[in-house]
Structure formats: C-alpha cells, structure tokens
Amino acid sequence: MRAAVRRTAMSAASAVLVALFATTGCGRAAQSDDDSDHAAADETAYTAVGQLPERLAPDATTVVVGSPAAGTRVRLYEDMRCPVCEEYEVGGGGAALRTLTLKGEVRAEYTLASFLDDRLGGGGSQRAANALRAALAQGRFIEFHDVLFAHQPEESVDGYTDAFLLRMASRVRGLRGAEFDTAVRTMKYRTFVTASQAAYERDGVRGTPTFAVNGDVVPDHLRGAMFEKELLPVAVRLLASGVTPSPREP
C-alpha cells in the first residue's frame, strides 16, 4: 500500500514539473545552464562523503553538512526508525541530494526527531540520534547516518540497540573509539536528542521525512519528486529560484 501511494505521489510530482517545463521552457534550459550557473559550486566540490564539512548549528539541534558557501539549503526532518525515511535515503532521493552536496551546490541540514519511540515503544530513535550526535563529534555524522539507514531495522522492532549501533559504527573508518563508544552507551547527548525532538514539534512538522528548501517546506504536490533521483535536483533548483509549481489541474 505504501509503495502504491509513493508511486502516485511521484507520478503527480513528475506531471507538475513536466507541465511547468512545457509552459515556461525552464526544464532543459535549467539543465543546460548547469556548468555556468553552478561554476561557483564546483570550486567547493568534494570527491567523497567523508570530506564533507559537518557542524552543529548555533540552535544546537541542526546538523549542517556541506560547503558553507553553498547557495541552497535543503533541510530534512527524519526519525531514524521511519521506514519512509529509509525509502528516501536508500531508494534514490537521498543519493541525489548527496551528489548535490558533494558538488557544493547544496548544504544539507538535518533535524533528528524521535517521536516513533513514543508511538511504537522502546528507545531506538533516541539512541540512534544520540549515536549520530556522537559521530558528529568525531566528524563522521553523514557517513554513519548513511550506514544506519542502509541497515535500518524493522520499524516495529526496537532494533537500534547499543550493540547494534556500535556494530554499525565499525563500518565507518575512524569512528569507533573510547570516546564514541562511551557516548553511545551512556546517552551522553540526551539533551541534544530532547532538544531536536522539541525543534521538530516547534517547527510544526507533520511527519517524516519532511523537506524544506531555503526555509520553505516542499509542498505536498512536489513531495514525491524528492524521492526520485532524476526529479529531486530539478525540484530543488526550481524551489531555490523561487519558482513553486502549482498542482496540476485535473
């Protein structure tokens, strides 16, 4: 059922973007201008995910990944137990965003929610968010983030145990160590986890994943495009330029 809903959303988003291209001519033009329009971004390009700059924003809840000079900000609200977040991260959209971040065109901002613990029971979302904050302290946030989603336990299973998180951390070169391991086992960053969930609630987000481009939440009729490897860059560039395509008329 979820897959069918996602295909419908993707189809609708694709139809909106195609219709916009037909009426404005900005589709192929936007792509053909890529080399010149994004030349500045190329100056801050990175060749590997492990090279991406990472930092905690002054609000103490937002993890910022990518070039400080990037002209576009894409914010993601994610719960690490959320299967739709896994679908986004592993199924195509996440890879496309990572490519834009590596190019220096976009910087990604992450707010880690943990509401699924209350809904499903357990504490996996909180433990995973704490472990990711510990990874940030080692400069390995985005690498560990990607590993965790690639091996996400079933939503109904409280699978983000300390043992699981440490085992997954062993897949990230340079992450494991006494400081990181202790932070995972003791929930060192519990304050960060609580504050991040509060930020999610304060921002009025209705579920995960939610996307925002330069501070504006991606509208529902374009949300499906964020899951498509081919559509995400187009949608992000349009929204960053101030163009918000209207829903396609029936």
Distances (CA, A) of 123 to 65, 128, 186: 26, 9, 13
Please give the Cα distance from 100 to 136 (Å, whole number).
21
Query: What is the number of alpha carbons within 13 Å of residue 132 lying toward its C-beta?
Result: 35
Confirm if 79 and 115 have CB atoms less than 8 A apart: yes
Q: Using a pLDDT cut of 90, give the percent of the chain over it.
A: 78
Residues 6 or more apart from 95 whose CB is under 8 A from it?
229
Supply the pLDDT for residue 42.
Answer: 52
pTM for this predicted structure: 0.85
Mean pLDDT score across all residues of the chain: 87
Per-residue pLDDT for 21 more than 70? no
Report, as an integer, the average pLDDT of 134-146.
98
For 100, the token pair is 């834009």
Q: Please, what are the domains in the chain? A: 1-37+219-250 (no CATH), 49-217 (3.40.30.10)
Per-residue pLDDT for 112 more than 80? yes
Per-residue pLDDT for 33 more than 90? no
Confirm if 141 and 111 have CB atoms less than 8 A apart: no
pLDDT-based confidence at 130, cuts 50/70/90?
very high
Supply the pLDDT for residue 193.
Answer: 98
Confirm if 239 and 214 have CB atoms less than 8 A apart: yes
pLDDT-based confidence at 30, cuts 50/70/90?
very low
Read off the pLDDT of residues 166-203 as tens digits, 9 standing for 90 and up: 999 999 999 999 999 999 999 999 999 999 999 999 99
